[in-house]
Structure 1
C-alpha cells in the first residue's frame, strides 16, 4: 500500500472537489499504471492491493473517488462498492469499476449495487480523464446542494428563534390587550354589561367596553379595526384611551366644564371627533367601524351612533329579536364624513347587543355566511341564560355553525341587560 503526501484541506487539480483517489487492484502493474496517470493529473493517490485493504483505508480517510477492479480475489470490486456505500460519510464518494466485462447485465448489476461509472480495460488515459471530469461535475453539484441545504437549515433555525421570540412578545401583547377589558361583567345600577373579546390570533383589532357618564347614563362601545395583528391591536388600544372612564379628561365622550365637572358629548359628535383624530393626527392606513351607545339608567332611553359596524340588536323580554341601525361610514376613511344618531327605548329585561362582523360574516363549510337571520336565531336560543353564559353559548353555537374548525375572524360583543328601575343592585 502506497500513500502520497495528503493534507486534509488539500484541493484537487485546479480547485476541483476530487482531491484524493483510492486505486484498488490486485495487479501491482495495473495499480502503478493508474497511479502514474492520476498523479500526472495532479491528484493525491492511495493504492490498495485488495478490497479488504481498500475498505480499511476508506473507513479512516476521506476519499472522494474510488477506482476499483471488478475481479479480485477475496472481496471483489462489486462487494467493495456495496460496503463503501454503507460507510457513514458526510459527502458523497464517486465509484468507478474497472472491468473487462461488457455485458449489459453486468453493468446493470454494478449500477444496482451503487457504482457510478465503468471503465473497460485496458484503460485509455483520455477516457479516464473524461470519466473523472464527469464525476467532478456530479460531486460539485452534490457539494453545492449540501451547502445550500446547510444554509437553508441554518436560516430555518434562525427563523425559528425569531419566531419563538415574536411568539413570546405576542403572548404578552395578548395579555395586555385582554387587560383593556378588565371586567367582563360590570353593574351600573339598573344595567349590567357583559363583554366578550376573542381575537382569532394572538391579538386582534376588536375592542368593547363600557364607561360611566353624567346624568345617570352609561356609554357602551364596540369597535373593529381593519386588518388583523399587531398594528390593528395597537390602534384599538389607542382608541380605548379615548373612551375610558379611567381618565375622564381624555374621554372624547365627555366635555369638561369651566366651572368643573363634565357634560356628555352626543354620540354623533364623538364619531366626528374620532374621524378627525384618525385622519389628522394618526395618519394611518387603517380605519375602524364602531357602534357607540348611551343608555339612560332611569328610563332606558338609548342614543346610538353607528359607524359602519353591524346593526345593533335588541333582545326583548319576550325573547323576540329586532335589528336597529342606519349603517353609517367607518371612521378614518372619509375626510368630510358625517354621522347621525338614532334612538330607541329599552324596556325592563331587554338586552342591547353590540357585536362585531365576526359573528354575522362567519361562513359555514360551504361558504354560506351566518348573516343577521342566523345571528338572531343564535341570540334567541340563548335568551334565557344570564348574560355571560349567553355570550359563551353564542360563541359555542357559532363554532358549531362553522363546522367546528375554529373561527377565522376576531369576535367581540357587549350585552347590556336593562333591569327594572327599582331593581338596582
Structure 2
C-alpha cells in the first residue's frame, strides 16, 4: 500500500498581521499546514522547535530583516532542506543578489499574486522532492556500502585464512639432503596467488622439484594450486601422479615429460577449467648430479656453475591445459659439485622498474652473480630485496616464486 504523503508545513514570517492572514488563507486552501511568526527571532524559535518545509519571509521587518533571517535560518542544523522564499518590493539586481547570497531560494514581489505564489510553491515542491529522493538514495547507498563493507571484511578475513592455507601447501621451505640442499620461495602478490613450488623424494638418491604458475590471480588460481599440490604430494606418494610403486615396494618416478603430458590430459578431460598453467618439473639425482626436467611454458631455469658462470636451459614448451595431446620434450643437464639450479616464475624476470623495463634473463644472471656467496634462504631473501630495489615497490604486481637446488657433493650412502 502506497503511503499517503504528509502535507507540507509552511511558516509565514511577516510583521504585518494582515499580510500573514492573506497568505495563510491561500495556503490553507491549497492543503498546506500553515504557521505564522511576526518577526525573525520568533520565526527562528519556531524553526528550532519544529522545522518547516517551506518558509515565506518578508524582506523589511523590525528587529531582523529578511536577509539576516535567511543567514541565521541557513546556519541552523536540519535533517532536511528548507525552501525559503523572500517577499520584497526590491527589484534591483544587486538587492536580489544580496538575498540569494543570504540563503534565499526564490523571490516574490509585493503585492503577491496568487497564481505566482502557487507557481513559486510548486517550484519549491519540486526542489524538496528532489532533495528527499536524494536523501533516500544516499541512505540506500550508505546502507548498501555498509553491507558491502561487512561482506568485504568477511571476505578479507576469509582470504587471510586462505593465504595461510595456501602457504601451508609448501610444508618445507628448506631441506638438507646430505651433500645438497633445496630452498623454496613463495610470495603471492595479493592475499592468494597462482604460484606453487615444492619438492618430494622419489627414492633414497633422487628427488623431484617443481614450480607451477597458474594463469590469472585470486581465488580460482589458488584453488587450482591446491588441487595440483595433491597431484604432486610428497606426503601421499600413492596419490602422486609422478610416482609409481616398483619392484619390492620401492617407488620410482615417471619421466617429467610424461608427467606433464598426464597433467595436460587431466586438465582438459577431467578438471575442465578455463585456466592453464606453466610448469618446470625436475628429476634430480643426488649422487650423480644428473637433472632431467620438462619446461612447459615456464621461464628458462638457470644453472650457476661453481665458477660463477650462469647459463639458462630448456626449450620453452607449451603450457599445460591448452592443447590436447601436446608434446613435452625433456631437457637434461649435469650439476658438478658447487653448481646450483634455480627455477623461478615469470614474476621474477618480468618484474618491471619505473620505466617499464623488465629484469629479464640478463638481470637474473646479474642477480645470481652479485649474490654468488649467498646460499639457501639467504639467497632467496637477497633475490626478493633485489626485485624490490628494481621495481621500487615492496608489494609486487605478480606472484614471486622460486626453487633453488644446490649441489655441494654427491650424496653418500650413509647420508
TM-score normalised by the chain length of structure 2:
0.96
In the TM superposition, residue 313 of structure 1 has moved relative to its aligned partner by: 0.5
2:6 to 5, 8, 11: 11
Q: Deviations over 1:122-158 (max 9, x none)?
A: 1100000011111111111111111111111111111
Q: State the Cα distance separating 1:254 from its structure 2 match.
A: 0.8
Aligned to 2:325: 336
Note if 1:148 corresponds to 2:137.
Answer: yes
Structure 2 residue aligned with 1:123? 112
Name 2:85's counterpart in structure 1: 96
Aligned match of 1:287 = 276
Q: Distance in 2 between matches of 1:10 and 1:219?
A: 76
Query: Does 2:78 match 1:83?
Result: no
Write the deviation string for residues 186-242 of structure 1: whole angstroms up to 9, x where unpaired.
Answer: 112322000000000001010110110125100000000000011101101111111
Partners of 2:394 and 2:287 lie apart in 1 by 44
Counterpart-to-counterpart distance in 2, 1:98 and 1:215:
100
Match of 2:154? 165
1:114 aligns with 2:103: yes
Task: Kindly state the Cα deviation for residue 404 of structure 1 after the two structures are TM-superposed.
Answer: 2.7
Partner residue in 2 for 1:179: 168
Q: Does residue 1:278 correspond to 2:273, yes or no?
A: no
2:342 is aligned with 1:347: no
Of 370, 381, 406, the match for 2:370: 381
Aligned match for 1:26, one of 15, 32, 35:
15
User: Which SS does the other structure have where 2:274 is aligned?
Assistant: coil
Q: In structure 2, how many angstroms separate the alpha carbons of the residues matched to 1:259 and 1:346?
A: 30
Q: Which residue does 2:246 correspond to in 1?
A: 257
Distance 1:375 1:259 in 2: 44
Matches within 5 A, 1:126-141: 126-141=115-130
Gaps of at least 5 residues in structure 2 are: none
* Cα RMSD after superposing both structures: 1.4
Between the aligned partners of 1:206 and 1:24, the Cα distance in structure 2 is 73
Could you say what secondary structure the match of 1:212 adopts? Answer: strand
> How far did residue 10 of structure 1 move?
6.0
What aligned pairs does 1:184-263 form with structure 2 within 5 A after superposition? 184-214=173-203, 216-257=205-246, 260-263=249-252
Match of residue 355 from structure 2 = 366
Aligned counterparts of 2:293 and 2:64: Cα–Cα separation in 1: 93
Counterpart CA distance in 1 for 2:34 and 2:309 is: 93
CA distance in 1, matches of 2:206, 2:174: 17
The 5 A counterparts of 1:303-342 are 303-342=292-331
Equivalent residues of 2:188, 2:400 under 8 A apart: yes
Quote the Cα distance in structure 2 between the aligned partners of 1:97 and 1:422. 98
Q: Quote the Cα distance in structure 2 between the aligned partners of 1:395 and 1:219.
A: 24
Indicate whether 1:419 and 2:414 are aligned. Answer: no
CA distance in 2, matches of 1:207, 1:321: 24
Bigger Cα displacement from structure 2, 76-85 vs 57-66: 76-85
Q: Gaps spanning 5+ residues in structure 1: where?
A: 1-8, 13-18
Q: Distance in 1 between matches of 2:9 and 2:377?
A: 76
Q: Distance in 2 between matches of 1:417 and 1:346?
A: 9
Answer yes or no: is the 8 Å Cα contact 2:205–2:411 preserved in 1.
Answer: no
Mean alpha-carbon deviation: is it higher for 286-295 or for 404-413?
Answer: 404-413
CA positional deviation for 1:258: 7.0
Partner SS state of residue 231, structure 1? helix
Could you tell me how far apart the structure 2 residues matched to 1:232 and 1:255 are?
28
What is the distance in 1 between the residues matched to 2:411 and 2:30? 105
Aligned length: 411
TM score, norm. by length of structure 1: 0.94
